[in-house]
Amino acid sequence: MKLNMEMLTGRIDAIRAALSRLRELSELSREEFLEDYKNPASAETFIRHCLEAIFDIGRHVLAKTGKVRLTHEYKNIAKGLGESGVISKPLMYKLMEMAGYRNRIVHFYHEITDEELYEIIQNDLKDIEQFILEIGAFLKKHTKQ
């Protein structure tokens, strides 16, 4: 089956756009970030956009390449991408953590703290950037075949 490159590049663009906004927020001091309620709300939204797009991409790649049995569970998508060589094992484990966080945002949103959102934008954006690099390398290689 053929990958839908238009959909994939659209999702990658969505990740890049959200990541750009998250980088802007990461430049704020802790105090600046926490004093305006809009900052944590924005960070949560942009993080969720990144995560949804990452797992949309992963699900599509797995479905179209037949690399593993199709799954809708986010942790299994991450595992499938890593075990099939689409992404590296270290990134696979990070995506599995991200899948858990995505579920927290969606189902346990009332437990998400402004402080943890600040920590994420300070320390974890590199993992999203790594996904863009690795999925981009896979897509480039895959489209040459």
The domain locations on the chain are: 5-144
Quote the mean pLDDT of the chain: 94
- Is CATH 1.20.120.580 what the domain over 5-144 is classified as, yes or no? yes
Residue identified by tokens 């939204």 is 45
Encoding tokens for residue 75?
């942790």
**Which portions of the chain are predicted below pLDDT 50?**
none
Which residue from 51, 44, 52 is spatially nearest to 22, judged by alpha carbons? Answer: 44
Q: Distances from the Cα of 82 to the Cαs of 2, 24, 95, 134, 144, in angstroms?
A: 20, 30, 9, 11, 21
Instruction: Supply the pLDDT for residue 143.
Output: 81
In this predicted structure, what is the pLDDT of residue 111?
A: 94
The pLDDT value recorded for residue 15 is 98
| Burial of 47: CB neighbours in 10 Å, binned 0-12, 13-18, 19+ | buried
Residue 131's nearest CA partner among 103, 83, 91 is: 91
